[in-house]
Amino acid sequence: MKTMNIFKTLALAMLMPTMLLTTACSSEDDLTNNTVNSQPVAKKGYALPVTVNVSRQGDKGSNRASYNESTRKLEFSPGDKLYVEGSHIDADRFAGTLDYDAGSGKFSGTIYTESPYEGTIDDLLNGNYATLLPAGYKSYDYLEIMDEGYEAHLGENAYNSFATSKKLGVEQLSYETGSYTSGTGFVLEPRNAILNFTITGLTASTNVTATLSDDDDWTPDIEGEVTTDGSGNATFAIGLEGSSDLKDFSLTVAGNAITLVSSSTPLAAGKIYNINRSATPVVALEFVTFTFGTNTVKVATMNLGATSVADGTSCYGDYYAWGATETFGTVAYTAYNAGTVTPTTGHIGGYSQANAPYYENDAYIKYTSASDATLEAADDAVAVNMPGCHMPTQAELQTLYAACGGTGTSMTPPSISDGAAYEQGIYWVEGATSSITIGGDEYKANGVLFVQDATHHVFFPATGNVNGTTLYSAGSAGNYWYSSLRTENISNAYRLNFSKSFFGNRVDTGSFSFRYYGFPVRPFKD
């Protein structure tokens, strides 16, 4: 293949693409029209027309960003570009930008080489690298001849790692790189993790500024503006390089410091993290101490995400799959004991096995044996969302159960009547249809009451469970995750289960369920 000699071969200096790369170019550069310091930059070199196939590694929402929820793939779209660069024994250094063509499903454009080249494109590109620049991800690339030699540049704007909606975040911030294989094309792998934020408790219909800062001051702040909806919610997305530790970052929205995580949380490239936080200062949870023998536990009076102890559905809190630190959907109650779930981005189907944490290629790849049978802090919804607390182990819940008079692992709790005093025991509370008062406290929900004595008691509302996109049995049954895996069948994890039925009430501390089910969690203090 002959190439057109359009400049004299010069010595080459090449800048490799790097996440959040800093170059000598001004921040005032026009990143879409190939200008530097407001001056046009000519692409120069030996011009080669190129058309290539490009594919992506992975298609599961659990391990990469998803754009098309029906196919669970992040698809290419018009405006996507592929920046190609590398070297060849004959062509020397080369670089160029290829545009996506929706009709052919391929990327086409021109590559410029330092030296004349007459071989095949397949041989030229083999083993060299490309970077996907999704539509809307501002960047610039160019070739230029300078006095000291030949340069090829790829610059990426670190300040554009912010999108004003979750959808745009998935589309624009999924930075990817990969190498070329002869006969196959470029195979890309994700480099970014996508943080999808929903911040509640803000002033309705106003512009607010959100800033993600590296607490070690290693990288520049990522900042953007977003307009809150009529309920005072702000939704936006931020892209961070995979392997970044979220504990090293802090978030400020409209001047409010937002707690992100309480422990080390390394981000996985290609994964979407749905992070729901409130800008309203959280009322400090109360904890009740229970003691049985030499064992002591401190139990929160409310579920994670709940806003009341026993006032209707406000005491239910959020629903989590086992090992997930964010919810897979938002619940809309269609009746006191039922509801529907709207899945969050990347979790089509809601609480399903396909969405279960660490479930890939029809198998679980983490928490698979007795050696890793307890959730790590980074996979514990309570530890991540509530600093200083954790999800209970099965043994810790058993301490609460025994302190309140429970024996074995299961029992039949008696119903407690309106006006009763607090006395040691485990009771079924029926307060949903007509509230009842116990020891001077009002209960407007059904559930189980654990009482050690008059001053040591906690209520677990009957929250039901979420399977797929449906809430079942709320008001008649309760399920709460432990942090303990059932090693006899790693598809299951242990839970506290209780219910009221025609066949009698039941509380079971040794029950278990599929890891992908959505249950609430109760914080225990560290």
Do residues 45 and 85 make contact, with C-beta atoms less than 8 angstroms apart?
no
Sheet holding 162-163, edge to edge: 162-163, 234-241, 192-200, 272-278
Report the alpha-carbon distance of residue 60 to residue 62 in Å, rounded: 5
The set of residues, in sequence order, having a beta carbon less than 8 Å from that of 68 and lying 6+ positions away, is 74, 75
DSSP code per residue over 177-246: EEEEETTTEEEEEE-EEEEEEEEESSPTT-EEEEEEEETT--S--EEEEEE--TTS-EEEEEEEETT-BG
**The token pair that represents 166 in the structure block:** 């979750």
Q: What CATH class has 192-278?
A: mainly beta
Residues of the chain with CATH 2.60.40: 192-278
Q: Which of 402, 400, 416, 409 is nearest to 500 (CA)?
A: 416
End-to-end CA distance of the chain: 68
Give buried/exposed letters for 238-255 (b at 16+ CB in 10 A, else e): bbbbbebebbbbbbbbbe
Report the alpha-carbon distance of residue 285 to residue 385 in Å, rounded: 13
Q: Which of 417, 204, 389, 197 is nearest to 304 (CA)?
A: 389
* pTM for the structure as a whole: 0.62
Side chain identity at residue 83, one-letter code: Y
User: Which sign, positive or negative, has the C-alpha torsion 392, 396, 429, 421?
Assistant: negative
Sheet holding 149-156, edge to edge: 12-14, 149-156, 139-146
DSSP percent split of the chain into helix, strand, coil, nearest 5 = 10, 45, 45
Q: Would you give per-residue pLDDT tens digits along the chain (526 residues)?
A: 433 332 222 222 222 232 222 222 222 333 334 433 333 333 446 788 999 998 876 544 333 343 455 554 567 878 888 888 888 999 888 888 899 998 888 999 988 887 888 899 999 999 999 988 777 665 554 444 444 445 565 655 544 578 887 767 766 676 788 999 988 899 888 888 888 888 888 888 999 999 998 877 666 788 889 999 888 889 898 888 888 888 888 999 999 888 887 678 888 887 778 788 888 765 568 999 999 999 999 999 999 989 899 998 889 999 999 999 888 888 888 766 678 898 887 788 999 999 999 998 889 999 999 999 999 988 999 988 887 899 999 999 999 999 999 999 999 999 999 999 999 999 999 998 889 999 999 999 999 999 999 999 999 999 999 999 999 999 999 999 999 999 999 999 999 999 987 556 789 999 999 999 999 999 999 8
Side chain identity at residue 287, one-letter code: F
